[in-house]
Structure 1
Amino acid sequence: MEVLTETVKVVVEKIVDYTITAVGRQMGYLIRYKKNVVNLSNEVDELNDARDGVQRKVQAASDNVEEIEANVQRWLTRVQGINIEVQEFLEEEGQAKLKCFNLKARYQIGRKAHKMGLAVKELKDKATFQTVGHRVPIQGGTTISTKGYEDFESRKLTLNGIMKALKDDSIRAIGVYGMGGVGKTMLVRKVATLAIKDKLFEKIVTVVVYQTPDLEKVQKDIAKELGLSFQDETDSQKADLLRKRLKKEKILLIIDDIWNKIDLESRGISFGDDQKGSKLLLTSRFRDVFSTDMDSQEIFSVGALSDDEAKHLFSKIVGNFFAETLDFQSTMVEVVKECAGLPIAITTVANALKSRKDPKIWKDAVGQLKRANPTQIKEMHEKVYSSIKLSYDFLTKEAQSLFLFCSIFEEDKVIPIDLLWRYLVGLDFFEDVCKMEEVRNRVHTLLEGNGSGTFKMHDVIRDVAIYIADKEEKMLTIRSLEGPEKWLNMKKWEDSFGIAHFDVDFKVLPERFGCPQLKFIFLGSTKKYSSQPIPNNVFEGMKELRILVLIRAPLPHLSSISCLHNLQSLVLDWCRLEDVALIGELKNLRALTLSNSNIKQLPMEIRQLTHLQLLDLNYCTKLEVIPSNVFSDLRGLEELYLERSFNRWHIDGEITERSNTRVSELDYLPLLTTLYINIPSPKVLPKALLLEKLKRYEILIGDYPYWYSDSDSEYYKSEISRTLRLQLDRGLQIEDGIKVLLKSCEYLDLTPWEGIKNILYEVDEKGFPQLKHLCVGNSTVIQYIVNLMKNQCVAFPVLQSLTLYNMKNLEEICHDQVLKGSFLSLKKLKVRECKKLTSVFSLTMLGCFSQLQEIEIVDCKVMCAIFSRERTHEIQVNHDIRTNIIDFTQLRSLRLRNLPNLMGFHPDADSLLLFNDKVLL
């Protein structure tokens, strides 16, 4: 009985303890109801901060063409759901009940706030994702372009033969051969597109080998296309991994431009016996490569075009003006005949003659084509050489120099023009050109191409350029240095104009070049840095050296280059540097590039470079110190680049350990036309007068650490001269400098903070007349992009792209009817994570968006229609929408994703009618 009593006592005590605890907790809900609500709000703020961080990573992954992990998407959905729940609680229940004195209501508020706070905290604690996305292998491998391909009859037999061989399971390797410039690569690309169309393979991968093959790079390129990543494996392990990966799918592997036998098997480039229908498609200038070296079971020849095909191709390029006289017609026939049916010869000559309307010039061209006859370019038809040489002879002296100079770069290299012209600063190629602006414009004019801002030389044309430079002009002698032994005897370089080698091992450089006549040296490495620094005396005695370019070179000390007193352009890209003070000894330097280096401090000695016109410190992420008065002493500086680099500008009134340079020093640079810079606040901008003189700039204002990266910004970079990335709130007055930048910028990346509710009226009242691209995001207050009820003007007349993301309060893009001429050039529209946006367009805006080519709308939870009904105060376009077709004649891409409330394109119309039956939904 006594035991039973003790047991009951223990049980009763536990019940009492539990009851007291429970009652205390319940009383706590009542007593601390306000505190629980405040805690809930704080937890939500922290959760949203964590969500913003995750969303930035998600956006970056999405821009990197990665698929977002399912657990990340579920987490973001839960965050959105709990945010809505908390907001409703605070706005609809909490605020109303907080004002009353009802104890029951207070208890309910406190209890619910506490429980919701725990749920919010639990969700916040899970925001620790190692990765948010993964790359999905692209079906079909490399993107294949057949631009310029013509379906000539002479090609059909070969094309059909190759396609038949691809479908034959007994054939493992196919060879396609023909002389340089006959069109092998273009034909094979056409084969690849047909194979994709017919779904003959699960993947198609293309790699280029070149005359001097780098099989390690070929192996790496193939693996990358197949989504295979190498880590720290040995060569044999990498080969085994690639071999296994190639056996997993039916693959067409195209290996272009083979010159000699290559050991593919040693690199794992083999399908083995169990090839599952996978095949090798190889191209070469030489038939023997396939018949004796590469074991090709089918070999196809690509020959010249027929006379009619050659005339058709030539006429297509030059136009029909030659048909005006019989004299012109007969000369045209002779010109085409001299091109021997070779596509590269025909296109080269046609482009050289298309602007020449004098028959005498055409007759002279026939003679030149007949006379030119090289003997030392391997497997090149003499007519290919003669056609390219003719085109070369038609160039101006400046263009000829530039043409030969471009041949120093690696085969098939895509050369950024904005990089190329900097190299040319120190060479006297151009007459009457002194300023950087003039050099830039001249190079861009001479290399006018596809508008991408890059230049690429066809391998056959490069062969001819090297031949001309080396054998005829004696102006440039370009050397392709193949191994360490080539450095042992430098005597033969003594008369050379320049040396270029982009895959050098720096540890095998000679102690001294001993080439006093050299005007330029280009040395680069594609591999990791050498542990052994460049010899101190390697450049000694090079009194004539004007340009020195070193890429990934170990340069702990610069004594090796401080003796180059006539140097005018110095490029140290991706170099390991320590003390760069000795650069101050190079008094004649006009262009200095230290991009991607590890320097921490720019020395005072730089101010001695009084002739310096260009200083590039882009992507020097460790650069923390630039002493005061360095910039202000460089009075001749025209271009200054500090993109993703130094941002620790000294601000007046601040007390710091070091006296860094002030932004205001830039006001002392009267010739400055180009400025790439990061600054913390508009208050420290240079004077408006300086900004008005800028012709090119990329200015980032703000200290936001994870600036949104619009994937389109890189795409547009080659065509954009003026970019502004700006954080702005109403607390900061829009300074004169900001007004100048807003007026002139072409690309605006805007993060509006507190107090700004619409872009057009409050940020710029003139309608952004020069703006081509607008990106607005991360705003909690913006209601409208355009609010013409406050300001009547034509809005964004030349805007080509509009990106809106994470706009929590955005209700409409355009509030009220826009004026005629607004958005007239808009081609691309992206809308993401705009939580209050119920529609994108109003029907009154239809005429404004007739040029739209791409529409992307993602993660807009309340959007119910793409087009809204007109408001009663707006002018009706047409009461019968079925007769008023929305004519998107230019639309080619439409992406709608995660729009759970979307009912259609317009609440009162058949979606198909909106596209005039031209879009299948």
Structure 2
Amino acid sequence: MKVSAVVFIDGLVSLTLQKPSEISQNKIYSMEVLASIVAEAVVAIGRPLFGSVYSMIKSTVKFRSYLDFLEKKKKSLMDLRENVKTEMESAEREGKVLSTQVIEWLNEVEKLLIEVNQFQEVKLSRHSVNSRKRYRISREVEGQLKRIEWLLKSGSSHIGVVAVNYSVPRAVEHIPGPSIQDETTASKTLAKTVTLLSDPEVRRIGIWGMGGIGKTTLVRNLNNKLNGTSMQPFGIVIWATVSKNLDIKKVQTQIAERLNLEARKGESIERLAGRIYQRLEIEENFLLILDDVWEKIDLDSLGIPLPEVHTGCKIMLTSRSRDVCRDMMTDEDVKVDVLNDEEGLQLFIRNAGKVVSLENIRPFAEAIARECCGLPLAIITMGTAMRGKTMVKLWKHALNELQRSVPCTGGVEDRLFKPLKWSYDSLEGKNIKPCFLYCSLFPEDFSIEIGELVRYWLAEGLIDEHENSEYSVNRGIALIENLKDSCLLEDGAREGTVKMHDVVRDVAIWIASSAEDGHKSLVRSGIGLNRISAIELSNSLKRVSFMNNKITRLPDCVIECAEASTLLLQGNLPLDRIPERFLQGFEALRVLNISGSRIQSLPLSLLQLGDLRALLLRDCFYLEELPPLEGLSRLQVLDLTATRIRELPRGSGGKGADML
């Protein structure tokens, strides 16, 4: 070794040693470094520089080795990141829930790698860097190396434990529904369907028939039959309700939840499809049941492996149209037939009760059952309506109503419409009919929150206000139970919710759209609308629903809806503005719901709605301010959940208003 330079700085001797082979290539560099150090040290004479100058010399002389070491450690961190990602993808395919700590670690890694890359590109791109800058850069490198070392250490502990404990989804989940065990025709259809499921050559099965004939009930019985069979062949059976207005993301979400895949806010349809596909690929055998299909569905868009590729995959769908089954390329189609007269009568008796055994009632019961044409929904609804009625005149009147002609029913078959309409006409109790029609404002297959529905009814005046608010709420719940007992409402998908059978909803919409008793409605909910046509709105309307669409803007004009008491606009995420003139024609509004939109403020015309009882602005994440609300003296409910509003303007709401 040869001493290439000796520097004396305030008693400090620094030797730079080099191999002879390195002298020529580093001579100029070493001289520049040392000259710079001497110059900087002379300026600092008289100060206690031993520690800081030594650090400067050390950092500057080792400048290149620091940079090389940084690149090496960066590569180690990138390799570890890829290993963790690989384990995460494997865990996701198995339906496991990823550890929050692992996700946070990955975010920190990505953030640091961006910083390091930018540092290397910007600060090291210059051809010459003087010693002062080398020293400063060396200190930055030291800081980045410490952070990389910490992430390498903490990341190593994540290998093998990227997922938290999770519950393996049950192979089959029981779905509540009426049994068809005593129905010969339906039982034969069920047996045929089970046989087709076990046929390896049959991968796609279509179940079709008119609305209300029992397709969903049949497939629910099939699902529950598999649930009760220890030798059932599927690793998992997945049920997803599709409905008339196809929403791919909604169907995907049902599938993902069944697979225990973690929901991710803002995730695209394509990304979720990829995760579903990866998860189902590892299932040796699975059955996907798509209920209530109205049009062809691209299985790829859902993330479902094609049965022709994944031989353990089977698809079953229900539809009113055989053409839809053909469009879905079903291998076998099963038609659900109506019940024969004896089966129809027995189903009617089970719902009407012992009163049918009375000698003077029995002939009318048999005739009414025949008028229902073997349609289970009609039979159950009529039987329930007649339960416990012993007066012959009531039975005779019911039969006469079923036998008379009815007007056009907007797509609902006459033989199904008549018994459902009669069941509606038979509802007894104050305001129970408008309460039932109110439920049709919500989209098809929508699970309605019972608490919210009762608030709507209270705001509309369909339930009398009472000094004791609990009494009024209980009255609303009693009305809901009455409608459920009449088979006009059923339990929703979640606890505390209710929904309408799609055929019952069709009938309710028809009744509400042609009503002449002050309860006329315009229902355009959940059908994918981009804008509202002012032509559809008029003074004859009592209730208007455009909820759960994709509306981007509202008419910027005065809409003549002076009688409308409810306007539902929630669930239109693209909507970012309420024009000033739009609300001016809705002067009688009692319920206004704009939840789940992008609005940032409300127009001053809102203050003209003196009868407003409920203003719902939940999940309006961009809403920052409200106009003074002292003019809304009757406001009872103001829902500002998940908005940016932190302080209410003075005089907000009427006396006793509930702020949510």
Instruction: Give the TM-score taking structure 1 as reference length.
Output: 0.49
By relative contact order (CA 8 Å, sep 6+), the higher-ranking structure is 2
Return the index of the structure with the highest Cα Rg: 2
Structure 1 residue 456 displacement after superposition: 2.0
For the aligned residue pairs, the C-alpha RMSD in angstroms reads 3.2
Change (3 A) 1:148 1:410: farther
Change (3 A) 1:141 1:562: farther
Q: Say if 2:553 and 2:577, in contact at 8 Å, map to a contact too.
A: no
Change (3 A) 1:337 1:565: same
Corresponding residue for 2:293? 258
Corresponding residue for 1:277? 312
Q: Return the match for 1:552 from 589, 596, 601.
A: 596
Query: Does structure 1 residue 211 correspond to structure 2 residue 230?
Result: no
Q: Return the match for 1:188 from 197, 213, 219.
A: 219
Query: Does structure 1 residue 466 correspond to structure 2 residue 509?
Result: yes
Letter in 2 for 1:589: L
Q: Say if 1:201 and 1:278, in contact at 8 Å, map to a contact too.
A: no
Q: Which moved more, 1:333-342 or 1:239-248?
A: 239-248
Residue by residue over 1:545-569, the C-alpha shift from the partner in whole angstroms, topping out at 9 and shown as x without a partner, is: 1211121123432335223222122
Corresponding residue for 2:436? 403
Q: Say if 1:487 and 1:510, in contact at 8 Å, map to a contact too.
A: yes
Matches within 5 A, 1:454-853: 454-473=497-516, 475-480=519-524, 482-484=527-529, 486-505=531-550, 507-512=552-557, 514-517=559-562, 518-525=564-571, 529-530=573-574, 532-560=576-604, 561-576=606-621, 577-580=623-626, 582-606=628-652, 609-610=653-654, 612-617=655-660
Q: Say if 2:537 and 2:561, in contact at 8 Å, map to a contact too.
A: no
- Distance, in Å, in 2 between the alignment partners of 1:295 and 1:278 is 14
Structure 1 residue 320 displacement after superposition: 1.3
Q: Say if 2:464 and 2:472, in contact at 8 Å, map to a contact too.
A: no
Letter in 1 for 2:201: S
Structure 1 residue 367 displacement after superposition: 0.7
Matches within 5 A, 1:256-335: 256-291=291-326, 293-324=327-358, 326-335=359-368
- Residue 274 of structure 1 aligns to a residue whose secondary structure is coil
Change (3 A) 1:352 1:477: same
- Distance, in Å, in 2 between the alignment partners of 1:203 and 1:269 is 13
Change (3 A) 1:131 1:234: closer
Residue by residue over 1:100-156, the C-alpha shift from the partner in whole angstroms, topping out at 9 and shown as x without a partner, is: xxxxxxxxxxxxxxxxxxxxxxxxxx9xxx999443340326542344444411112
Change (3 A) 1:559 1:180: same
- Residue 243 of structure 1 aligns to a residue whose secondary structure is helix
Change (3 A) 1:583 1:182: same
Letter in 2 for 1:521: L
- Residue 292 of structure 2 aligns to a residue whose secondary structure is strand
- Residue 585 of structure 2 aligns to a residue whose secondary structure is coil
- Distance, in Å, in 1 between the alignment partners of 2:516 and 2:328 is 38
Letter in 2 for 1:466: I
Letter in 2 for 1:257: D
Structure 1 residue 374 displacement after superposition: 4.7
- Distance, in Å, in 1 between the alignment partners of 2:570 and 2:249 is 18
- Distance, in Å, in 1 between the alignment partners of 2:476 and 2:524 is 25
Q: Say if 1:398 and 1:429, in contact at 8 Å, map to a contact too.
A: yes
Instruction: Give the TM-score taking structure 2 as reference length.
Output: 0.68
Corresponding residue for 2:282? 248
- Residue 438 of structure 2 aligns to a residue whose secondary structure is helix
Residues paired across the two proteins, number: 490
Corresponding residue for 1:174? 205
- Distance, in Å, in 2 between the alignment partners of 1:257 and 1:469 is 24
- Distance, in Å, in 2 between the alignment partners of 1:530 and 1:471 is 31
Letter in 1 for 2:548: D
Change (3 A) 1:147 1:140: farther
Structure 1 residue 507 displacement after superposition: 3.0
Letter in 2 for 1:318: A
Q: Say if 1:490 and 1:514, in contact at 8 Å, map to a contact too.
A: no
- Residue 575 of structure 1 aligns to a residue whose secondary structure is coil
Letter in 2 for 1:497: K
Structure 1 residue 506 displacement after superposition: 5.0
Higher-helix-fraction structure? 2
Residue by residue over 1:473-495, the C-alpha shift from the partner in whole angstroms, topping out at 9 and shown as x without a partner, is: 46222321545565143454443
Residue by residue over 1:672-694, the C-alpha shift from the partner in whole angstroms, topping out at 9 and shown as x without a partner, is: xxxxxxxxxxxxxxxxxxxxxxx
Q: Say if 2:556 and 2:582, in contact at 8 Å, map to a contact too.
A: yes
Q: Say if 2:171 and 2:236, in contact at 8 Å, map to a contact too.
A: yes
Change (3 A) 1:152 1:348: same
Corresponding residue for 1:638? none
Matches within 5 A, 1:859-878: none
Q: Which moved more, 1:486-495 or 1:244-253?
A: 486-495
Query: Does structure 1 residue 417 correspond to structure 2 residue 462?
Result: no
Corresponding residue for 1:360? 393
Change (3 A) 1:155 1:322: closer
Letter in 2 for 1:273: E
Structure 1 residue 268 displacement after superposition: 3.1
